Amino acid sequence: MNYTTILQNHHADLPCALIDLDTFDANIRSIAQMMAGTNLSIRVATKSIRVPELIRRVLNSGAPYKGLMCYSAREAEFLAEEGFDDFLIAYPTLSELDLKALRSLHDSGKIVSLVVDDERHLKKLNEAMNGVSSPFAILLEPDLALRLGPLTIGVRRSSLRTNADLLKLAQSIKNYPNLRFGGLMAYEAQVAGVGDKNPFKKLLNPIVSLIRRYSMKIIMKRRKELLTELTKMGLKPELFNGGGTGSLTFNTAEKDTLTEVTAGSGFFCPGLFDYYSNFTLKPSAFFALQVVRNPEKGWYTCQGGGYIASGEPGWDRVPHPADKNLKLSGFEATGEVQTPVESPYEISLGSPILFRHQKAGELMERFNEVLLLKNEKIEKTVKTYRGSGKSFF
């Protein structure tokens, strides 16, 4: 698809965000195919999309897509107003406004659960749910970081270091009359969130690949043990969530342990997803900047573009031109007000240059609207969260 020509024919206002629906739909099918034969459903990670119309498009594609993983209670409240249901809130909260939103969702009959890992979370939630007609569902999250002596490989999120820690907290939920044990969310961040063919970290790639495979062996064993122990306690999880787009190919081996996996970024296939060896998807999300200057021969300066991805700072977090013949300046990279690009061929002032963001939904925090392209034309323009006046973090 010739995006530049489409944008020019449409007289698109630049900068703009765009989604190639043909590729987006192909990624939906590819991700579903990864889970073929497992009976695992796929929960959609909303933070990786942040466009209600596109979230709806994934769910409407049918099995195995079911339910949403949200990053904010008030995000789930907003999506409920948009007609969605079945919310797994993946991060604990003690905010009064968040707890009010959770209570409202629960009272309205929506399927909703919250991930926690601390007794203090339970106490606060139990107070917030005082008087509910049915107990609120709690999910527990074990710490799945790989710990080798003093070295921690993974993310620091859960306080439930051991299986014994988690089983103890699961048992204690019985002490809170307004809560019930709903299951587990067990995310393997050092596998799903880290690529092993990063061109900016070539020397580390073999080590990262080894760590990913080694971690998965340990994680699969722990998840199976947790399921066995909880079942013995009469607390068999209704929901056992694991995985992310980056680890789905590993999760197929856990069809008898997990009940579902999660995917989100894969639908957009941002730049960081080029750095994974275990799957191949195609980029469907882009942003376009206007060329406004030609400071010297071979150099063209775009307006804006400093949409740096979160995470460990580095060149792998910087957006890059979709056309691999175009190069960023090592001195300026992508800037808040301007982005210089070196080109081997002439580019007209006013023309769009296409870029890929390195992460997925974060791009949508920069735009009120996103253009949806299909069959070589702009099919429609839809609102992002931001376009609906929503910004949750």
Write the pLDDT tens digit of every residue in 240-277: 999 899 889 889 999 999 999 999 999 999 999 998 88
Closest CA to 154 of 201, 117, 193: 193
CA–chain centroid gap for 260, Å, is 15
| Helix, strand, coil content of the chain in percent (nearest 5) | 35, 25, 40
pLDDT at 193 over 90: no
Pairing of strands 352-356, 320-321: antiparallel
For 91-104, write each residue's pLDDT tens digit: 999 999 999 999 99
- pLDDT, mean over the chain: 94
For 46-76, write each residue's pLDDT tens digit: 999 999 999 999 999 998 999 999 999 999 9
Angle between helices 96-107 and 73-81 (to 10 degrees): 40
The reported pLDDT for the residue numbered 53 is 98
For 111-161, write each residue's pLDDT tens digit: 999 999 999 999 999 999 999 999 999 999 999 988 888 888 788 889 999
The DSSP annotation for 77-113 comes to HHHHHTT---EEE-S----HHHHHHHHHHHHTT--EE
For 4-22, write each residue's pLDDT tens digit: 999 998 899 999 999 999 9
pLDDT at 192 over 80: no
The reported pLDDT for the residue numbered 78 is 98
What dotted CATH number matches 21-264? 3.20.20.10
Burial of 197 (0-12, 13-18, 19+ CB in 10 A): middle
The predicted model gives 15-42 an average pLDDT of: 96
